[in-house]
């Protein structure tokens, strides 16, 4: 094991401890209440709600691109709900998810960036696992052509794709059509879920792909497609 691996692992553990301390609601792994719990160095997120305070039609009508955020953090329940809307499992099998996917292949990988670091969302267990233990929102904003509102957001959901999962079956049509469609489906879910939670969000596609990939620390096989900064809109009552 290299020194870099050890340091990276220590940073990830520190970020997990920071998130747990900040939210202050992490229970033991055997807890069956539906609340967040520790699970193998990850955070099991609260069970998503299937009832909202507004209708789908109201969320569609209210959706706007928001770039001005307060400094109030999101709760772990809100974070979990947003990630579930992006890529959560909604049925009895892992391919039954919140958004449709060509051939049920689900090429997307979803990441969360917040003050505690970078986390990877695992739909199978509705889990967050730490990737990096330092706040990377500023570096992400630089990689997105210095769009500084990204650094001001309470969190950023980053959507990447492993194109090979889809192109193995569908070839170039998977690359040109199906994978981008998957990402768009997931992003719209997040944007509408944000509205339903009383939050603001904006989809960002203007960024340097390689620079974003390096910030996220993701493998070369994963291509970043969307950044979605999310927070509480400034001036909201």
Q: What is the CATH number of the domain that holds 134?
A: 3.40.109.10
Q: What would the mean pLDDT of 102-106 be, rounded to a whole number?
A: 95
pLDDT value, residue 38? 43
Name the region of 78 (left: φ>0; alpha: ψ -120 to 50; beta: rest): alpha
Q: What would the mean pLDDT of 5-12 be, rounded to a whole number?
A: 45
User: Has residue 236 been placed in a domain?
Assistant: no
**Predicted confidence (pLDDT) at residue 6 exceeds the cutoff of 60:** no
pLDDT value, residue 118? 98
Measured CA to CA, the distance from residue 133 to residue 138 in angstroms comes to 14
Q: Bridge partners of 44?
A: 37, 127
For 8, residues 6+ apart whose C-beta sits below 8 A from its C-beta are 132
pLDDT band at 226 (very low <50, low <70, confident <90, very high): very high
User: Has residue 194 been placed in a domain?
Assistant: yes
User: Has residue 95 been placed in a domain?
Assistant: yes
pLDDT value, residue 42? 87
Residue range(s) defining the domain that contains residue 226: 3-231
Domains in the chain, number: 1
CB 147 within 8 A of CB 69: no
Adjacency order of strands within the sheet including 155-162: 37-38, 43-44, 127-132, 117-122, 108-114, 155-162, 222-231, 200-201
pLDDT band at 19 (very low <50, low <70, confident <90, very high): low
User: Has residue 115 been placed in a domain?
Assistant: yes
**Predicted confidence (pLDDT) at residue 174 exceeds the cutoff of 60:** yes
User: Has residue 237 been placed in a domain?
Assistant: no
User: Has residue 213 been placed in a domain?
Assistant: yes
Measured CA to CA, the distance from residue 37 to residue 219 in angstroms comes to 28
Place of tokens 């033991």: 28
Q: What would the mean pLDDT of 45-74 be, rounded to a whole number?
A: 96
Give the pLDDT confidence of 199-219 residue by residue, as tens digits. 999 999 999 999 999 999 999
Q: What would the mean pLDDT of 46-54 be, rounded to a whole number?
A: 95
Q: What is the pTM of this model?
A: 0.84
Place of tokens 């520190």: 14
Give the pLDDT confidence of 136-170 residue by residue, as tens digits. 999 999 999 999 999 999 999 999 999 999 999 99
User: Has residue 60 been placed in a domain?
Assistant: yes
Residue 2: how many other CB atoms lie within 10 Å: 7
Please tell me the least confidently modeled range out of 3-17, 20-34, 144-158, 183-197: 20-34
User: Has residue 121 been placed in a domain?
Assistant: yes
pLDDT band at 21 (very low <50, low <70, confident <90, very high): low
Provide the terminal-to-terminal Cα distance of the chain, rounded to the nearest Å: 51
């Amino acid at each position: 094991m290299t020194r870099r691996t050890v340091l990276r692992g220590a940073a990830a553990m520190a970020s997990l401890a920071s998130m747990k301390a900040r939210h202050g609601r992490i229970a033991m792994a055997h807890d069956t209440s539906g609340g967040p719990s520790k699970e193998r160095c990850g955070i099991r997120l609260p069970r998503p709600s299937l009832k909202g305070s507004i209708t789908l039609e109201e969320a569609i009508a209210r959706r706007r691109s928001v770039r001005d955020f307060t400094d109030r953090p999101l709760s772990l329940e809100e974070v979990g709900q947003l990630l579930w809307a992006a890529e959560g499992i909604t049925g009895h099998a892992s391919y039954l998810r919140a958004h449709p996917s060509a051939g049920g292949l689900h090429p997307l990988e979803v990441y969360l960036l917040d003050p505690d670091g970078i986390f990877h969302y695992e739909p199978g267990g509705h889990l967050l696992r730490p990737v990096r233990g330092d706040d990377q929102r500023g570096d992400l904003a630089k990689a997105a052509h210095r769009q500084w509102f990204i650094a001001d957001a309470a969190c950023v959901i980053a959507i990447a794709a492993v194109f090979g999962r889809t192109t193995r079956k569908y070839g170039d049509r998977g690359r040109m059509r199906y994978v981008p469609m998957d990402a768009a489906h997931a992003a719209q879910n997040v944007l509408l879920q944000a509205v339903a939670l009383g939050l603001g969000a904006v989809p960002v596609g203007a960024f340097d792909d390689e620079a974003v990939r390096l910030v996220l620390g993701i493998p070369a096989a994963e291509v970043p497609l969307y950044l979605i900064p999310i927070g509480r809109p400034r001036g909201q009552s």
